[in-house]
Copies of this chain bind each other. A is one copy, B any other.
Amino acid sequence: MRPQQPEIMTPRKEEIYQVAARLFQEKGYRATSVRDLARALGLKPSSLYSHIGGKEEILRKICFDNAERFLEGIGRVEAMQQASAAEQVRALIRLHIEVALHDITSLTVFNDEWRHISEPWLSAFKAMRRDYERRFRQIIERGIEAGEFKPLNPHTILYTILNAVRWLHYSHPAKRDITPQQLERDLLTLLMDGLLKEPQQ
């Protein structure tokens, strides 16, 4: 279901994907035309099609690449066998900050434009998202059962954390005068102290 990709991209193709991501982020996928993309690259619209299969192929790659990044990340977190649930949630929050700082443009498109993927890929994408959220929620539920976390509704906890970090990019313009380290420390304080029964001092 996932479009098989050769993983080898020519520099030109890399550039096309990067410029497209920026345009999708700025104007939205539907409002970005193939002509907009061609113009931004200094090409005629038809010339794009020797590099790409179509407009949607770009969107799919961006969305699936990010989905895989998060799924790999949560796999590593789950593999932390000795870790408490609190340490695992902390690692997941760090994962989201990391991905956001790594390529905020691509992450924004992933977050905001995925619904324009057509079937059958859309269903595959949604399944990956559901899988990620289910696994995140399981970690939260284990933390509650272990008495580490407050006995709040696991869905509410999950989506509060996810929304706070998922749309980190909306606060990006305001992040000029803050280091990634400060951002991480403050975010972890806010979210973990709210979650933990006995916040550490």
Contacts and interface: CB of A to CB of B under 8 A. Distances in A.
Given A116-B31, A167-B167, A160 B178 contact: no
B171 A159 contact: yes
A163 B168 contact: yes
B182 A153 contact: yes
Interface in A136-190: 150, 152-153, 155-160, 162-168, 170-171, 174-175, 178, 182-183, 186-187, 189-190
Contacts of A163: 163-168, 170-171
A115 interface: yes
Interface in A25-84: 27-28, 30-31
A193 interface: yes
Nearest to A195: B190
Q: Interface on chain A toward B: helix, strand, loop, or mixed SS?
A: helix
B190 A156 contact: yes
Interface residues of A, number: 40
A150 B27 CA distance: 37
A192 interface: yes
A95 interface: no
What 8 pairs between A and B have smallest CB-CB spacing?
Answer: A194-B194, A159-B171, A30-B30, A190-B194, A152-B186, A156-B186, A155-B174, A193-B194
Interface in A3-39: 27-28, 30-31
Nearest to A176: B155
A25 B129 CA distance: 19
A101 to B, nearest CB: 14
A164 B195 CA distance: 14
A161 to B, nearest CB: 8
